[in-house]
């Protein structure tokens, strides 16, 4: 039968953990592609224009990025879980509306109501996605339309306009409520003119990173995105995770709406149109796989910066602003193709990315294991 001596620990087990230096470097490049691209872009920008790294410019950038940053964080959760949320742009508008409409009752009321309302919208998304088998993009695409319609409707109701739809005017933030200070107050302790909205966004980043890394909920989100079947079998409450993920996405979109309303001092019902696409682009460029299961907040921040700096570069290079839009789409497509096709093919220390549950082994059996 089996030989009696104990064979020493086999080479292949040790080999699996030994990685050549070249492979290490390549693996690092692959993981930090976004960061490298960002650094290159920043260098390019500052070479092309002396104004790029001034306090004003950075302050402006930070200001713009507050809204998008929160939105991208909100988008990151559904994508990590293997889904997507196309409704965040419209939900932003809803959040802005509620914040502005309630601003006359004070900042606290405005924030709470906005977050609650958008949380409910996200919750509805989550229920639909968790309990029906409809793909997330359909549900959130439908919600995009519904939420947009609702925000137009609320806006016209708030303005007491005629019902023929002509009254979708922006709802103004109540003056004197201090609401505009939510996002506008410059932080006193920093040399640059960075408004507090940026601080809020930064807090959201940190909080999300913490949750993803240090709580079991975070692990579960990755698990659901990585291999949902395995996750369910291993005891993860997949449905709860999904509902939570979309609820948070809605609430963060609401927070983005609050920041938006605070900056603009009004809530146009057309706010946030196509913002969801930028959020998705930022998340994807930052290294989060659109199939889910992989991603870091750090990456999303980098991706966001890249997406925001690109228009700057175009301006500096003299390319028309129209090409920016094209570039956005092309960049998103290129990133997705890279993620899905080229990187696995090159397999530079990368993880073999199979679609669906990892399966090796003989040809499929019919549902019952009839063969063994």
Partner 1 sequence: MKPNSAAPRSSPGARPPDQPIAPGGAGNLLAGSPSAGGAMGRNALYTTHMLPWLQRYGSFLALVILVIATSVISPNFLTELNIRLQLQTFCLSYALIGVGQALVILTGGIDLSVGAVLAVGSCSAAVLMNNGYGTVVAFALPMLLCAVLGGFSGVVIAKTGIQPIVVTLAVMIAARGVAETIASAGVTYIQDQNFITYATTNYGPIPIIGLIPMSVILTAIIYLAAGFFLARTVAGRYIFAVGGNERATRLAGIPVDRVKILVYVISGLLAGLAGVLYASHNSTADPFNDGLYFELQSIAMVVVGGTSLLGGSGGIGKTLIGGLILTVLYALFIQAGWPTQTQLIANGVIVAGAVILQGGLGRR
Partner 2 sequence: MINSLFEWRKHPSRTPGPAPAHHGAGQARAWAAADPVDAPLLEVLRVRKSFAEAAGVASADLVVRRGEIHAIVGANGSGKTTLASIIAGVYTPDVGELRVAGTPVRFTSPRHAQQHGIVAIHQEPQFVPHLSVADNIFIGAELRYGRVPLLHRHQMREQAAALLRDLGATFDVSMPMGKLGLAERQLVAIARALSRNLTLCILDEPTAALGAFETERLFEVLRRLRAQGAGVIYISHQLDEVLTLADQVTIMRDGRTVQSIRVAEVTRESLISQFVGREGLSAQGNEAPATLPGRPIALQVEHLSRRNVFDDISFQVAAGEVYGLAGLTGSGRSGIARGIFGVDRLDKGLVRIYGRPVRIRSPRDAIKAGIGMLPEDRKLDGLILCQPANENVALPIWERIAHAGLVTPGLGLRLAAGLMAQLGTGVPQRACAVAGLSGGNQQKIVLAKWVATLPKVLILDEPTRGVDITAKAEIRALIRHIAAQGIGLLVICSELPELLNLADRVGVVRQGHIVAELTGTAATQEMVFQHALGNASGRPHIPEPMGVRGIQEQPPSWPMADANRWEKEPKQWQ
The residues binding partner 1 (CB under 8 A) are 79, 82-84, 128, 132-139, 141-150, 152-153, 156, 163-165, 168, 228, 273-274, 277, 280-281, 290-292, 320, 322-330, 332-333, 336-337, 340-341, 355-356, 366-368
Q: How far is the CB of 137 from partner 2 (least distance, A)?
A: 18
Contact status: 208 vs partner 2 (CB under 8 A): no
Residue ranges in 290-319 that form contacts with partner 2 under rule CB under 8 A? 293-294
Concatenated DSSP letters of 251-292 = HHHHHHHHHHHHHHSEE-TTTTTTHHHHHHHHHHHTT--TTS
- Is the CB of residue 269 less than 8 Å from the CB of residue 151? yes
Tell me the closest approach of the beta carbon of residue 302 to partner 2, in angstroms: 19
Helix, strand, or coil here: 190?
A: coil
| Residue at token pair 């692959």 | 30
Q: Is 366 in the site for partner 2 (CB under 8 A)?
A: yes
Check binding of 371 to partner 2 (CB under 8 A).
Answer: yes
- Residue 147: name the closest of 86, 100, 102 by CA: 86
> How far apart (Å, rounded) are the C-alpha atoms in residues 26 and 188?
42
**CA–CA distance, 234 with 237 (Å, rounded to integer):** 9
Give the C-alpha separation, 20 to 294, whole Å: 24
The stretch near partner 2 (CB under 8 A) out of 29-37, 260-268, 318-326, 344-352 is 344-352
Q: Any contact of residue 235 with partner 2 (CB under 8 A)?
A: yes
In whole angstroms, the minimum distance from the beta carbon of 279 to partner 2 comes to 22
Per rule CB under 8 A, is residue 370 in the interface with partner 2? yes
Of partner 1, partner 2, none, which one sits near residue 345, judging by CB under 5 to 8 A according to partner kind?
none
Q: Which residue has the tokens 């640059």?
A: 192
Closer to partner 2 by CB, 189 or 360: give it. 360
Q: Does 127 bind partner 2 (CB under 8 A)?
A: no
Provide the CA 105 distance to its chain's centre, in angstroms.
31
Least Å distance between CB 30 and partner 1?
A: 18
3 or 321: CB nearest partner 2: 3
153 binds, among partner 1, partner 2, none (CB under 5 to 8 A by kind): partner 1
Positive or negative CA dihedral for 108, 202, 194, 41?
A: negative
Name the phi and psi angles at 133, rounded to 5: -95, 15
Inter-CA distances, 281 with 123, 162, 206, 276, 331, Å:
24, 38, 20, 8, 8
Q: How far apart are CA 144 and CA 152, in angstroms?
A: 12
**∠ CA 263-266-268, rounded to 5°:** 115
The least CB distance from residue 82 to partner 1, in Å, is: 5
**Residues, the chain:** 372
Of 162, 163, 322, 372, the one binding partner 2 by CB under 8 A: 372
Decide: helix, strand or coil at residue 171.
Answer: strand
The two tokens of residue 307 are 């997406």
SS3 (DSSP) at 26: helix
The residue from 1, 20, 21, 321 that contacts partner 2 (CB under 8 A) is 1
Q: Which is nearer to partner 1, 100 or 155 (CB)?
A: 155
| Of positions 158, 208, 231, 326, contacts partner 2 by CB under 8 A | 231
Nearer to partner 1, 272 or 292 (CB): 292
CB atoms within 10 A of CB 43: 11
Q: Cβ 343 to partner 2, closest distance in Å? A: 13
Cα(8)–Cα(121) distance, integer angstroms: 60
Comparing CB distances to partner 1, the nearer of 23 and 330 is 330
Instruction: Tell me: does residue 355 bind partner 2 (CB under 8 A).
Output: yes
Tell me the closest approach of the beta carbon of residue 292 to partner 1, in angstroms.
Answer: 7
Q: Which stretch binds partner 2 (CB under 8 A): 150-158, 165-173, 225-233, 272-280?
A: 225-233
In the complex, which residues of this chain contact partner 2 (CB under 8 A)? 1-3, 6-10, 12-14, 16-17, 133, 214-217, 219-220, 222-223, 226-236, 238-239, 293-294, 349, 351-372
């Amino acid at each position: 039968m089996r030989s009696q001596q104990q064979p020493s620990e086999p080479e292949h087990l040790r080999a699996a953990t030994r990685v050549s230096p070249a492979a290490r470097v390549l693996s690092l490049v692959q993981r930090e592609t976004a960061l490298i691209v960002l650094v290159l872009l920043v260098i390019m920008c500052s070479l092309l224009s002396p104004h790029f790294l001034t306090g004003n410019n950075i302050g402006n950038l930070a200001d713009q990025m507050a809204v998008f940053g929160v939105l991208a964080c909100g988008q990151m959760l559904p994508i990590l879980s293997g889904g997507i949320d196309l409704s965040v742009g419209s939900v932003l508008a809803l959040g802005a509306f509620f914040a502005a409409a309630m601003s006359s009752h004070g900042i606290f009321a405005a924030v709470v109501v906005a977050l609650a309302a958008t949380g409910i919208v996200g919750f509805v998304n989550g229920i639909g996605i968790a309990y029906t088998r409809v793909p997330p993009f359909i549900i959130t695409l439908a919600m995009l339309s519904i939420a947009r319609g609702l925000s137009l409707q609320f806006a016209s109701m708030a303005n007491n306009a005629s019902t023929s739809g002509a009254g979708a005017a922006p709802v103004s933030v109540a003056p004197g409520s201090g609401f505009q200070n939510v996002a506008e107050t410059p932080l006193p302790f920093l040399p640059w003119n960075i408004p507090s909205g940026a601080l809020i966004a930064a807090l959201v980043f940190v909080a999300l990173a913490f949750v993803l890394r240090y709580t079991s909920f975070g692990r579960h989100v990755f698990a659901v995105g990585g291999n949902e079947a395995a996750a369910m079998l291993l005891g993860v409450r997949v449905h709860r995770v999904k509902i939570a993920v979309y609820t948070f996405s809605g609430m963060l979109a609401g927070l983005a709406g609050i920041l938006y309303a605070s900056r603009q001092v009004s809530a146009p019902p057309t706010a946030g149109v196509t913002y969801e696409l930028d959020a998705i682009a930022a998340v994807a460029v930052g290294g989060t796989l659109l199939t889910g299961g992989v991603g870091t907040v750090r990456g999303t921040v980098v991706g966001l910066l890249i997406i925001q700096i690109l228009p700057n570069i175009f301006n500096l290079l003299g390319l028309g602003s129209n090409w920016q839009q094209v570039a956005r789409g092309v960049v998103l497509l290129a990133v997705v193709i890279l993620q899905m096709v080229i990187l696995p093919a090159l397999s530079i220390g990368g993880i073999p990315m199979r679609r669906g549950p990892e399966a090796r082994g003989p040809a499929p059996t019919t549902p019952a294991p009839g063969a063994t």
